[in-house]
Amino acid sequence: MLIASRNRLARLQYGPNGFRILSPGDHVLCAVTGVVIGLDELRYWSVARQEPYASAAISTQAALDDARKA
């Protein structure tokens, strides 16, 4: 990771098997809680909604909430 990318919000494209960095940075924000997630700690996201999540529980809850809206 480049030094210039430290303490900077990254912009990512989420895919089914990983993500692609569109704008360099070292973290993203959880779409539900707003908590900072380091890119090296990012494990949960929605490809359909293009959102990162801090935990599996938060990811599941976001999916359930989205299904209820449909």
Q: How many residues does the chain have?
A: 70
Please list the rounded mean pLDDT of every run of 10 residues in the chain (70 residues).
74 97 97 97 97 98 92
Distance CA 36, CA 21 (A): 16
For residues 63 and 25, the answer to whether their CB atoms sit within 8 Å is no
The pLDDT value recorded for residue 1 is 46
The token pair that represents 47 in the structure block: 């490809």
User: In the chain, what are the domain boundaries?
Assistant: 11-69
pTM for this prediction: 0.88
Distance CA 39, CA 29 (A): 10
